[in-house]
Amino acid sequence: MKGITVSFSEAVRMELGLEAVKEYPSECCGILLGVVDDQGNTKVTKVIPMKNNLMKDSDRKHYIIDPIKLYETERDYKETDREVIGFYHSHPDALAIPSVEDEEGMIPEMIYLITEVRNGKDTGLRGYIRGLDRDSLQELEITT
């Protein structure tokens, strides 16, 4: 897989960080809408926060997006210039790198953004994509 760039506005970046901080110490999660060009470069144009269906005091370090909500989002944006291009979540008090569970759940060719939150503060954002072979995982170049 060649280098892939994901870009978004400062407003989208701010929204990702604010939601991660708001849900701290639990993981936030949501859907990324946007467009992909012929070279595979991706522009995130909208963030859709989702309820974390695993939001329990005993399990704050995981997330599940309701598949019905995902289906409804895909349906609602089907006739627009945007499509579901990936997902995001936060890592409270942990590095913004995919956990083993994150990697196992990644859908090939979808963008995954992870916001690192330390002590209730947004401390960074990283992005990843898994190849069709499911063996390759690539960190994305992020631009605003």
- pTM for the structure as a whole: 0.91
More confident residue, 40 or 25: 25
Mean pLDDT of the region 88-114 = 94
Phi-psi region at 73: left, alpha or beta (left = phi > 0; alpha = psi -120 to 50): alpha
pLDDT tens digits for range 19-39: 999 999 999 999 999 998 887
Distance CA 143, CA 8 (A): 7
Lowest mean pLDDT among 59-68, 98-107, 115-124: 59-68
5-143 fold:
Cytidine Deaminase; domain 2 (3.40.140)
Among positive and negative, which fits the CA dihedral 18, 24, 30, 36?
positive
Instruction: Give the distance, in angstroms, between the CA of residue 93 and the centroid of all CA atoms in the same chain.
Output: 17
Q: Are 114 and 127 in contact (CB under 8 A)?
A: yes
Among residues 58, 118, 129, the alpha carbon closest in space to that of 88 is found at 129
The residue ranges of every structural domain in the chain are: 5-143
Contact predicate 93/57, CB 8 Å: no
Please give the backbone phi and psi of residue 100, each rounded to the nearest 5 degrees, phi first: -60, -45
pLDDT of 44-99, one tens digit each? 999 999 988 765 554 556 788 888 999 999 999 988 889 999 999 999 999 999 99
